[in-house]
Structures are given as C-alpha cells and as structure tokens.
Amino acid sequence: MWDEEIRHMASSHAIMASGVFMATVVPAVLVPGFSVYGTHLLWQYSVAGVVAVVNISLFWLLGVSPPTKKHTITYKMSRLVHSCLYLLLSCLFFHTVVVLYGAPLLESALETFSLAVLLTSLTTLRCVCVLGPNVQAWIRVFSRHGAMSVWDTSLQMVVGCSVVGAWLGAFPIPLDWDRPWQVWPVSCSLGGVIGYLTGLVVAPAWIHWHRKHLTYKSK
C-alpha cells in the first residue's frame, strides 16, 4: 500500500545523505586548510546550508508539504514569513536549551549559536517542509499515535535521532582525553549529523518492514 511513497522516501533520503557528504568533501577540496575539526564553524554552516537547500527542494518537488488553502501572493508571503520566524525562534530555543544544559553563556557564544543553527536545519526545517508553519500539526505529529502518513513517521524518526545524537555527543566533552573532537561543540555537531544520517536510513527501513501493519487516521 505504501510501497511507492516508501521508494520516494528512500530515494530522497539518499539524496539528503549525499548532500551532507558533499557539504563535507567539496569545501575540503576547494578551501585550503578546511577540516571538520580545524574549521568547524565553516563545516557546520556548510552542512546546515546544504541540508536546507536539499530538503526544501526535494519536499517541494515531491509535493509532501500540505497544500495551501489560498493562492494569493499575500497568503504565500505570510506563510514564508511565519516559516522564517519559526526557524529563527528554533535557533534561539536550541541555543537556550544548550546553555541550560551547561554550555558557556558568553564564552563560545558563536559556537553555541552555530550548533543551534545546525540543529534547526536538521529538525525544525524538516517540520516546516513536511507540515508547514503549523505548530498544532507539529504537536500532533510528535504526540502519541499522531502520525497521519509515512512522512509523519519519517519526521518523528529523523528529528528524534538528530536530537538524541546531539545529546549523546555531549558526553565525551568533559572527559580528559585531549582529543580535537572534544572541543566545544564539535562532538555535539558530529553527534547531531550522525543521528540525522541514522534517521534517514532507519526511517524508510522501519516503515518498509512494518508497512503491512501501518494504519493512519485520515487528515
């Protein structure tokens, strides 16, 4: 029943994963001295930018985003403004949460905010692409049995894996190993990206495995 959507999802996720790979490899070739550790901020923004462009393009081409009820330019501009506002608020939210969990408040503030931007591109941007700037729909999807499509289920998994990955990435930081990836916020960024990639792989595989048992309420 869901085979075609699952194939589209698997293909789009493969492209998204390739985008992360290209965002790491291409700057290493073009920018002298580029490395994930040495120029970590540049890597973060490179990944965040590519993830944003790839997600917006793919979800628009696949028609996953909810259709707009109005087609006026004013309404579309309003949705665009709301989407940008939600992304900005998401950056501030992640920045605040990370600081509350122990990140430096003033020292390394740029690094902390860059992590927040990266996490926003991995999580909130996908919510905007799949559900639109609709907080009620976001709450519905992340509540118990709230998924109404395979894309909602995929959203749950990718966002969950990204957040958990970033959280797990914080554990090695206080250890006295003196490794370059322990510098704030390298391990959290790597954890978030690895979690994101894990979600991209796990989501279509899990949905395909359980496709015969999936039942969704009508929207």
> At a CB cut-off of 8 Å and minimum separation 6, what does 62 contact?
8, 12
pLDDT in tens, 98-108: 999 888 888 88
Tell me the percentage of the chain whose pLDDT exceeds 70: 94
Whether residue 54 is contained in a domain is answered as yes
Higher local confidence (pLDDT), 94 or 144: 94
Domain that holds residue 69: 1-210
Whether residue 200 is contained in a domain is answered as yes
Whether residue 58 is contained in a domain is answered as yes
Structurally, how many domains does the chain consist of? 1
Q: Tell me the whole-structure pTM to 2 decimals.
A: 0.92
Tokens in use for 35? Answer: 């490395």
CB atoms closer than 10 angstroms to residue 86:
21
Whether residue 186 is contained in a domain is answered as yes
pLDDT in tens, 115-152: 999 999 999 999 999 999 988 999 999 987 778 888 99
Positive or negative, the CA dihedral 174, 178, 179, 184 is: positive
Whether residue 217 is contained in a domain is answered as no
Whether residue 215 is contained in a domain is answered as no
Whether residue 216 is contained in a domain is answered as no
Whether residue 93 is contained in a domain is answered as yes
Coil, strand, or helix at residue 70?
A: coil
